[in-house]
Every structure is written in C-alpha cells, then in structure tokens.
Amino acid sequence: MVKHTRYENKKVLVLGLALSGFHAAKLLHELGAMVTVNDSKELADNPDAQELIASGIRVISGYHPVDLLDESFAYIIKNPGIPYSNEMVQRALALNIPIFTEVELAYEIMAASLIAITGSNGKTTTTTMVHEILKRNRKKGVAHKAGNIGIPASTIAKEAPAEDDIIMELSSFQLMGIDTYHPEIAVITNIGSSHLDYHGTREAYVEAKWRITMNQTAEDYLVLNWDQEELRELSKTAAAQIVPFSRIEVVEQGAYVLEEWLYFKGEKIMPVDAIGVPGSHNVENALAAIAVAKLKGADNESITEALRAFGGVKHRIQYVTEVAGRVFYNDSKSTNITAAQTALNSFPDKSIVYLAGGLDRGNSFDELIPAMKNVHTIIVFGETKERLSDAAEKAGIPTIIETETITTAVPLALDNSQEGDVILLSPACASWDQYKNFEIRGDAFIDAVHALKHEQEEG
C-alpha cells in the first residue's frame, strides 16, 4: 500500500455503508482521517456499523441528517448507489465538498498496475476473462479482480504490491466519483442506455462511462468496441493510445475475427468456437480480453487455455442444469433491455421459453420484440409483467403466462416446454420490486430449477 496523506487529520464523511463504505471507513481511519459514517440503516440491524464503532469510528445511523454537513467535512466518500439527487448529496455539492467513491480511494493507495473495465454489458465477463488469463503462467506477481464485481477495491489495493495487476470492474455510478483515478489500460466493452433513472439523460450516462479515460495519457491504452460508431467518435477525444476490437471487421491495430479465428494485430490466437461460453457477445468480450492480455504480454497458450476453460460468470447467461431434456440458463444480471436482447440472441438455433420481469421503470419493451423471434412461450412476473405481456403479444408469441415470482415461473416453464428447448431467465429489469439484488433473484431461480430437477428424478 502506498501511504497517502490527502486524508490525514481531515474530516471525512462516509455516506452509506454496504461493503464498499465499510472498507472505505476502515481504510480512512488507518490513513489518519477523522471519520464519520452516516448510514440509513438502524444501528441495531447494522453489524458493520457496530464493528466500526468498536474500532473507534463515529457512526450516525438510522437517517441522513442534512445538518451534519455543517461540520465542515473536507471530503465525502459516497456509496455509489446513492444518487446525486439525494438531499445530502445536493447539499454537499452546494458546499463544494469533493465527493468520491471507494474506487478513487483505492487508486490513491495502489502500488499495483491498474486495468479498468466498464461498459453497459459484458464488463463482469470481460473482467473475469482478463483475470483468468493474467493469473496463468505468470513469472512474477499475482492478478486480482476487484470493484463492481463484488470485491471492494480498497481491500485488494491495500495488499497488492507493485508487481501485481488489479483488474477492476467499474460501474457508471463509481466513475462519477473519481478524481485522480488513472488506469494503465482502460476498456469500454460497449455503451447502451442504462440507469437513466440515476443519470437523468443518456448523455450524462455516456459522459460518466467516458470518465474512465479522463486521466489517461499517451503512454496508456484505451480498448474500445470498434463496432459502435459512437465509441469511434468518442475515441477522437481520448489522449490514450486506442486499441480497437471488432467482431465484424479487420482492425489491424487491435483484436478481430477472421475466418472463424480470433486475431490480435495480425497474429492468429485461437478459434472462435474454442471460447467456453455461447453467444456473439462473448466473442466481443473475448476480443476485449485478448487485447488487454496481449498488451500485458500474455502468451497465446495462456489466453487459449483460459478462454477455452471459461465457464461464464454466475448470473450472466450461466448454464444451470438440464431437466427432462430442457436446458436452463440463469441471466439474472440482465437488468436492462440491451442485456436481455444479448441473451435471447445467444441461442439462434434453439426454441426458447423466456422468463422475464421485475422493477417497473416506465419503459416499453417493444425493443425486445425482434430478439424474441425464437420464443414460443413467455412467462412474466413482477411489476412489469403487463408491459412485457403487451410486447409479447405484438411479437406474436403463442403462449403468454403471467405469474407472481421466479419460483412459481420455473415449473410453469417446464410444463410449457418441449425436449431440446432452452429455458432462459433474462429479466430485462432490475430486481428491486421483489428481490434485494440480481444475485438473490438468480439464486432463487437456481434453487427452483434444482428443486424441480430433484422432483423429476424422485418422481
């Protein structure tokens, strides 16, 4: 860990706990800051807050008192999920208090090399692919993954020495709170339209994503999806060296597909059909991962071994099991229409029973219609079930079933399927109407599928 003095003897407010806030508070305390934590959860139900109090950190819990900001804080470390429209955050902005997220704090103490990955879709898969490649056949150091993937960045940054690599997944929420954050290699897998309820406009969302490269220089690399015209245009504003990847054309200075092989700068790396997960989107993820790996000096054997063995990411078009000749896939991480389109298009030669639904953000699902061409049955649940039913009717899907939860949807899927079908959970919605997060939603699906399999085998 590089000892940083920015926070020493400074009053710092950690706004919102969760995993990142908890570890940020501990690190700030270690760095000599005068830390106050403010979390909305009541103290009695907040073991993390109780642990911080026991270690000598001040905690105010149960509500967000705006007048707390009258205490002249030098900095705020904000939980990424708290929107900038929040009353406390608005007051802090009016007082010109710098607001960071935990990834900025992690970067400031980091000795290891930093690879940062973002995108509307594919960032978790690409982060995991890069990690799997870079941890193979290393001559020195260790490869770590961290960030939005579920591992607080500061916990890794504290321990990783200079010869290590940290591969960090970043959300747009986290990128809103960076200042000096400077990756050696940055990746944008793609840009769609996500989290507009948080950012307000698509322009603001894109601007947040583009912040990943704001401190890069001509000595750094920016890996971009060259199949998106928007990213080509944005690349003209970047200071870093652009390394493109493309699934549909040869890009000589980057990674591409040619005659069913993956290439990097003219070098044949591996066959497309050797990638261990299905779908054209995973070809793009693999190309991005190959570009990063080659920039870091990885050999082709390590790349091929890692991508051949890659079984996917939990909750991202994750193979669950087969029941009575039907194959179940869990894509609970699909919290938007673009992600669901990707999942549906991953099985071009299969008949699909489609499970979808969740939090209602007021949007139409008509954009899903072209991707539902192989769906013969749709089972919808949650707040959006009526909107999804409307889209399914327009798509001409023969069987439309409304139900309450994922748990009730699974047996209905089996009853309305045929041998050889894919049964796909890809909600196209956030989980918060019924489930605390997409992981819990996905686990509920997995549990229901395994219960169904057990019932079939016992019966």
User: What residues form the annotated binding site for ATP?
Assistant: 119-125
- CB distance 358 to 431 below 8 Å: yes
> Among 274, 248, 262, 283, which residue's Cα sits nearest to residue 125?
283
Angle at 333 between CA 330 and CA 334, to 5 degrees: 90
Residues contributing to the annotated binding site? 119-125
Pick from 278, 228, 247: which is nearest to 422 by CA? 278
Q: Which residue type does 363 have?
A: N
Q: Provide Rg for the chain, Cα atoms.
A: 23
Decide: helix, strand or coil at residue 328.
strand
- Say how many C-beta atoms besides its own lie within 10 A of residue 81's C-beta: 13
The first and second tokens of residue 46, run together, are 């907040």
In this structure, the strands spanning 113-118 and 185-188 are parallel
At residue 411, φ and ψ (nearest 5 deg) are -65, -30
Torsion of CA 376, 381, 383, 386, to 10 degrees: 40
User: How do strand 261-264 and strand 352-357 relate by DSSP bridges?
Assistant: unpaired
E strands, 358-459, are 375-381, 399-402, 422-425
User: What values do phi and psi take at 304, rounded to 5?
Assistant: -65, -45
**Pair type for strands 185-188 and 375-381:** unpaired
Encoded tokens for 378? 């749709």
